[in-house]
Each structure stands twice: as C-alpha cells, then as structure tokens.
Amino acid sequence: NAGVMQNPRHLVRRRGQEARLRCSPMKGHSHVYWYRQLPEEGLKFMVYLQKENIIDESGMPKERFSAEFPKEGPSILRIQQVVRGDSAAYFCASSPTAGGSGGLPQHFGDGTRLSIL
Amino acid sequence: AQTVTQSQPEMSVQEAETVTLSCTYDTSESNYYLFWYKQPPSRQMILVIRQEAYKQQNATENRFSVNFQKAAKSFSLKISDSQLGDTAMYFCAFMNTTSGTYKYIFGTGTRLKVLA
C-alpha cells in the first residue's frame, strides 16, 4: 500500500531554470496539498488541488509558481525562472476527502529538497 | 486569520522521562481539528496525534497524549517514557473545516532531543 510518492527527492537547478516537482497521492486519495518548508521553519501552505481543479492557491507566490493535478498522472508543482530564495523542501500531502468525514489527517510524502545554485 | 504558536524552539529530556511541548492557537471558528506531527532528521512528516475541537476528551496514542484546553486555545503534547527515537522536530497544526479547504496551519516547531 504505497504512500504519497514525491520525486525527485533532491533537485538542483541554476538560477533562471525551471523546476518541476511531482507528487502521486496515496491510492484512493483525490485531494492534494503542497507545502513549502524553508530552512529552520515550519511548513507553509501553498496550494490545494482536486483532480483538474485548483481549489485554493492563496499560499502560492503570484509569479513563477503554478500547480496542476490532471485527470491522469501526478500533481505537478512548477517553478519557472528559479531564484536562490526558492531553495526549500517542498512537501506534498494527500487526503481521501476534503475533511468532509471529519478533519481526516493528511498523509505526507518525503518531500523534494530544491537547491538553487 | 488563524495562527499557531509554539513558544519553545528547543527542548531536551532524559530517556524514560516525561516532556510536554506547548502549542497555542488563535481562531474565531468553533469547528476545527488539531494535530501534532513529528519530523525526524529523515524529514518525513509523521502524524503523532489528532484532536477534534468538539470533543472534550483528550486524545491519547500509546505514550503520546494531549492536554486540550479549548477556552484557552491551548493544545500541548505530552510524551511519556521518552525514547531516543522520539528525537525530532515536532509541529503543531491547525485545520479549519469551515473555510472549505482543510489546509494545515503549522507552528514553527519545537526541536526535541532525548538524551541517553
């Protein structure tokens, strides 16, 4: 019973390049959340998606960042023209519903550590 | 806006002893959930315990228990019989269920070191 799968585990990019982070939710989960963890800080919400829909992107930077969760395939967090400040660990979490059954906990992947040279 | 505060950046405890990590939060909502997550050096986020705000009874999971004081907006985690494997960052998280997104709001974490 595979958990939330994120890849790559580590990603190194030079300033100005694009970074693509992938997340496959747990089997049976249709709700995906992305969080960012800067060094020595807690996780901060970025975006919440359901299949083919962005439900809440209130935590996403206005520029360069985008996310999708297509009907088929993993969720993708895309960062264009990366800068040094984008260096962080990016976590994906999934849940079977949006908490309609009562605040079900989210299950986290192991994260992608993004380093910008 | 909801906020979560963990006022203890670092703590240490001797193996087999008990330690309490504090967490306070601010919300005007009445329906919500609270969680503690553990993040060991491997960086995984591991669910420790969950509490429903409408339940007065404190949640327990083996050696882990909470002291939930709704009026005071306090949600502390007690770890009994501490083990070396409990060494990790601990994050308190708030989930609001009335906004429709059920996202987590995390505190800044407490780094716990269990000493042999």
In tens, the pLDDT along B74-108 reads: 999 999 999 999 999 999 999 977 777 788 999 99
A109 is written with which tokens?
């992947």
Report A:23-82 residues touching B (Cβ under 8 A): 31, 33, 35, 41-45, 48, 55-56, 59
Looking at the partner chain, which of B37, B95, B100 has a beta carbon nearest the beta carbon of A103?
B95
Chain A environment of B91 (Cβ under 8 Å): 42-43
From first to last of its 117 residues, chain A has per-residue pLDDT tens of: 579 999 999 999 999 999 999 999 998 888 999 999 998 888 999 999 998 899 999 999 999 999 999 999 999 999 999 999 999 999 999 988 655 446 788 899 999 999 999
What are the Cα distances from residue A105, in Å, to A21, A42, B12, B102?
22, 17, 28, 10
Q: How far is CA B60 from the centre of its chain?
A: 12
Q: Over the stretch B36-57, which tens digit does the pLDDT of each residue have?
A: 999 998 889 999 999 998 888 9
Element containing residue A47 per DSSP (H, E): strand A43-50
Looking at the partner chain, which of B32, B33, B108 has a beta carbon nearest the beta carbon of A41?
B108
Chain B environment of A106 (Cβ under 8 Å): 104
Q: Are strands A31-37 and A19-24 parallel, antiparallel or unpaired?
A: unpaired
